[in-house]
Amino acid sequence: MKTQILLVDDHQMARRALKLILEQQGYACEEADDGASALSILEGGQAVDLIISDNQMPIMTGMELLINLKAHARLSAIPVILYSGNLTDELRKQARQVGAQAVFTKPYSFADLLATVTNILSSK
């Protein structure tokens, strides 16, 4: 069974580009366009091995999604990679404290992101 990754970003083109790269590496990807949709997918029973989420989205930000996941007994163990175009030192620190495994600034290097995905999933 393929490793399942949930991609959360309100920009469809960004999700699709990341999905294409991850699928070329053998991962299966599910998509959500905001944190609330992602949470709904997960609460509905969709099993995922990793979440990669933008921070700045309408309805529910990536940080709000991360906080909700960590407060949820069944979902708290899912590793999360968070990225943002407006990443401050404070946001990076807060994301790490809440439980993000990695935090990237957009634009990010796909090679660096893939290396991080591999490291996180191999340590699970």
Instruction: Give residue limits of the domains in the chain.
Output: 4-122
Q: Cis bond leading into 107, ω under 30°?
A: yes
pLDDT string in tens for the chain (124-residue length): 789 999 999 999 999 999 999 999 999 999 999 999 999 999 999 999 999 999 999 999 999 999 999 999 899 999 999 999 887 889 899 999 999 999 998 878 889 999 999 999 998 6
Distance of CA 79 to the CA centre of its chain: 8
| Sole residue written with tokens 């309805």 | 59
**pLDDT at 85 (0 to 100):** 86
Cβ atoms of 67 and 97 closer than 8 Å? no
Under 8 Å between Cβ of 72 and 26: no
The dihedral built from the CA positions of residue 97, 15, 19 and 115, taken in this order, carries a sign that is: negative
Contact criterion met (CB below 8 Å) for 83 and 106: yes
Using only C-alpha atoms, the chain has a radius of gyration, in whole angstroms, of 13
* Burial degree of 3 (CB within 10 A; 0-12, 13-18, 19+): middle
Question: Of 47, 45, 63, 40, nearest to 1 (Cα)?
Answer: 47
Structure confidence at residue 105 (pLDDT) = 87
pLDDT for 108 equals 82
CATH class of the structural domain 4-122: alpha beta
pLDDT for the residue numbered 107? 79
